[in-house]
A and B are shown apart, each in its own frame.
Chain A
Amino acid sequence: MNRRNRLEIIHDMLRVTNDLGGKILPTHLLYKSNLSHERMKGYIEELKQKQLLMEMTEKDKIFFAITEQGRRFLMQYKQLTEFAEAFGL
């Protein structure tokens, strides 16, 4: 299996969040994104800084929710993947 690059990891984290209705529990994100706790913390910080993901609390539980910018990133990523695949890049 190929090692994922930084961008693919970010895409995977946002995609699983989006697929689960736009918000996800930290433990589920850790499990679904297939990362170590330390690495995931780093990525979460980056995604929050770039306003692709935000932290929210509901019924005393912490969730991560995808932002509008995060959704735009997913669309843009899909388009660019298709572009690269069409040319075999």
Chain B
Amino acid sequence: MVAVVVHGPPWFFLLDAALAFFGLAAAMVIVLLSMKALNLTKERKFLYFTIAFTLTGMGLFVRSVTNVIVFLIIPYVDKVMSSGLRDFRGTFFFVGYGLFIVCSIIGYVLLAVSTMKIREPRITILLTVLVLLLLGLSSSYFFAYYLTAITLLGFITFHVCKNCLERKSKSAFLVFFSFLLQFVAHIAFVLESVHPMFYYFGSIALLGGYGVLLTALANVLVGRR
């Protein structure tokens, strides 16, 4: 039996599941747009971008389903039928969140690679292997995940900030603001050990980040700069 060590209050995980679905919607719109771009241009940067957001979306979906199973379905089934499923909550949580972490961290690596215009596939593979080793060998995979995500998001945010200053367009600004919110959200998740309020703050910032990203995509789709 694996014990569930939750970061954040358990009731909040159901709200977190809804939040993850919101992020999933943004990721799916980006996947559709980058697949269109990939079909038209056949450029590798769009391939990385498509895979990055597919993985991010998959990660969010797994996280959402895990939260619903662990914090809603299992407690309910166990209460009604005394099935003993409660003993497997830890395993579900570990597998679900493990998958979420692997998917989203590879997604962030590919996103960093495509936004920073790294053309060499060997560097992409090296970065992915290093990040996975770091997570796999860490004794606290949540902490290692958040710190790695903060580092990668920091680089991505810096790049989209530079891009926003160069382009001076509304969409570029919204993309920058969205990544800035996601970056801040991950910092708040790390600070959750200092005070639980940071977890709520992080979740709100993340929700805002996904919302702003969806607005940026809507802007692109309707052709407003």
Contacts and interface: CB of A to CB of B under 8 A. Distances in A.
A82 B222 CA distance: 10
Nearest to B41: A7
A86 B36 contact: no
Interface string A68-89: 0000000011111011111111
B114 interface: yes
Which DSSP category, helix, strand, loop or mixed, fits chain A's interface?
helix
- Place the interface of chain B in its size category: 20 to 34
A86 B159 contact: no
Nearest to B36: A80
A88 B162 contact: yes
A50 to B, nearest CB: 12
Contacts of B36: 76, 79-80
A83 B174 CA distance: 12
Given A79-B220, A79-B223, A82-B225, A87 B37 contact: no
A78 B33 CA distance: 12
A77 to B, nearest CB: 7
Contacts of A78: 223
A82 B171 contact: yes
Nearest to A88: B163
Contacts, number: 61
B13 interface: no
B128 interface: no
Given A79-B220, A83-B34, A89 B114 contact: yes
B169 A85 contact: yes
B91 to A, nearest CB: 38
A80 B171 CA distance: 12
A62 B163 CA distance: 44
Contact of A87 (B40, B175, B225): B175
Nearest to A78: B223
B162 A80 contact: no
Given A88-B160, A89-B46, A83 B220 contact: yes
B171 A85 contact: yes
Contacts of B40: 7, 76-77, 80
Nearest to B40: A80
Interface in B63-122: 114-115, 117
Contacts of B220: 79, 82-83, 86
6 contacts: A79-B33, A80-B37, A82-B225, A83-B217, A85-B171, A86-B172
A-B CB proximity, top 10 nearest: A88-B163, A86-B171, A80-B37, A82-B220, A83-B220, A86-B175, A83-B33, A86-B172, A89-B45, A7-B41
Interface of A: 7, 76-80, 82-89
